[in-house]
Structure 1
């Protein structure tokens, strides 16, 4: 088993240029249910520093001094991915982003303030928590968009493909693509429309 794990890690390091552990740590750090739980003080300091660097890069990219031509293409994009739509709904704010403070000192204060809060209950939805607290952390919420938008597993998408496979069978080969899409959507979201 150890040999298998070692081989998987080697293959992943060879194929991917990013540190998967680093991304997982950052995603856990911005999840209010976990934050820096289980990390040593050295690792916690490294993750906080990495989050500050990421936040500075994001804020620099989205600052008004950054090329004005790129801004309309982001906002005028008519098609959002499903995850993008969920994040937009969860974090869409009527306030303008021009009020965010890009001062490195305040970014560090914001990160320290976030980590000084208690960890929330495991059953609390992190996206709802961030929606409720986005005014306290206007800069840090941008990292949440980056790291909590990543599904932890591929299980949900695999379930949808399984539903699609069971819907578009040989016996139902005359279904059009739009009908299959509608049936899969209804089946995958049945919990939302079936009253209990």
Structure 2
């Protein structure tokens, strides 16, 4: 258990209490799952009367198509008549699936025109009003897509398992907070959702009162991509440096372990070593304070680079900080990776394979999670892809027009057979 440095758990009171006990007993860092916190934040942000009416109306509309093959067929025909090259179904909101409200709203906004045409052709005015959204509700749904998409991207980025995620947490949360700032063109409903989300982010992630010795702050500081720590004040940066110096002093013994095997063998020094001193002498002559100052004085590396690769190349220059970086950058920001393992195990073991031994189950799950090393599956990138990044200086507002579509839900896509072959165009609708 000496290799365990932290535990990641949800916001349940019993899990939080267990984390405090383990810190007192074994000094394991207690990390609340960032994805659970974010989902609870957005859940409370949309908890107002107008948004609940909108979501209920959307569920009612989606349910009409989900429970009627005739209605679904009619919607498909309307899309084909409008020139869609890919026919899409509506998406049902699932309470247990993160961001499913966003997927439902995004698909409805895209299919607004064929949905309204179908309702006009098949229902009288009274029935149509019970299903169709009002013009104001359509406008609110479209206005919220940018914010909800940002929440979805943050959740996806923090749920990765083949790159450091804890260091992304605070930069992304501050970026999301900036995206949630109200605009003068926002309606009262949109303003309410954004204000509630900002309040939830500040409270759940302590964005206004950060503790500089918390693992999430230390992880960001030890990630060479974010070492400028723009979300901290000058005073907080000085406090953080003091914390890092204290922790670096404590890990000196681990970085340079005591030699109990007797005097080291004398090594032949080169001419350059005699003139400049060898590498070991150079490192030992650097104080902890100098090492920390030198690290923060350097420019941040590109966000596309892997921090572990950088630390591997620079561990000799920053031996103490490199030791701390291995500890804090290896902590996941969410419990999603471990939950994926349980999901895989649930697929491996079923009623027809209940005789598998525990060792065999462990081996099958291990092979599944590491199949990319054998070339059986595509390897997940070591850093988040550009479209998943949500930092203030790089964020670009994405407008969702009536001719845009989310192509990720392949299960809800039906190819249209026509006389013309596809030209390879990435768009999902043809030009008007």
Residue 185 of structure 1 aligns with which residue? Answer: 366
Using a 3 Å threshold, how does the CA distance of structure 1 residues 130 and 183 change in structure 2: closer, same or farther? same
Partners of 1:175 and 1:154 lie apart in 2 by 27
SS of corresponding position for 1:139:
helix
Partners of 1:19 and 1:44 lie apart in 2 by 23
1:184 positional shift: 0.8
Residue 226 of structure 2 aligns with which residue? Answer: 34
Q: Give the counterpart of 1:53 among 220, 223, 246.
A: 246
1:191 positional shift: 2.0
1:192 positional shift: 2.1
Q: Give the counterpart of 2:296 among 109, 112, 115.
A: 115
User: Unaligned stretches of 5+ in structure 1?
Assistant: 1-7, 69-96
Using a 3 Å threshold, how does the CA distance of structure 1 residues 182 and 42 change in structure 2: closer, same or farther? same
Is the CA contact 2:283–2:316 (under 8 Å) kept in the aligned structure 1?
no
Stretch moving more, 53-62 or 162-171 = 53-62
1:23 matched to 2:215? The reply is yes
Alignment of 1:155-174 (within 5 A): 155-174=336-355
**Larger Rg computed on CA atoms:** 2
1:150 matched to 2:342? The reply is no
Partners of 2:281 and 2:350 lie apart in 1 by 51
1:149 positional shift: 2.4
**Where does structure 1 differ by over 3 angstroms across 4 or more consecutive aligned residues?**
8-15, 17-21, 60-66, 97-100
Bigger helix fraction: 1
Partners of 1:19 and 1:183 lie apart in 2 by 30
SS of corresponding position for 1:164:
helix
1:99 positional shift: 8.3
Residue 78 of structure 1 aligns with which residue? Answer: none
Residue 314 of structure 2 aligns with which residue? Answer: 133
1:125 positional shift: 1.4
Is the CA contact 1:64–1:98 (under 8 Å) kept in the aligned structure 2?
no
1:64 positional shift: 5.3
Partners of 1:158 and 1:99 lie apart in 2 by 45
1:62 positional shift: 5.9
Is the CA contact 1:100–1:139 (under 8 Å) kept in the aligned structure 2?
no
Note the aligned Cα RMSD (angstroms): 3.2
Deviations 1:70-94 (A, max 9, x none): xxxxxxxxxxxxxxxxxxxxxxxxx
Deviations 1:6-56 (A, max 9, x none): xx6998489626786522111110011112232111111111110000011
1:194 positional shift: 2.3
Deviations 1:71-123 (A, max 9, x none): xxxxxxxxxxxxxxxxxxxxxxxxxx99853x7x6211111111111112222
Is the CA contact 2:348–2:364 (under 8 Å) kept in the aligned structure 1?
yes
Partners of 2:360 and 2:258 lie apart in 1 by 46
Q: How many residues align?
A: 160
Partners of 1:183 and 1:64 lie apart in 2 by 38
Is the CA contact 2:348–2:365 (under 8 Å) kept in the aligned structure 1?
yes
TM-score, normalisation: structure 2:
0.33
1:148 positional shift: 1.6
Partners of 1:157 and 1:25 lie apart in 2 by 23
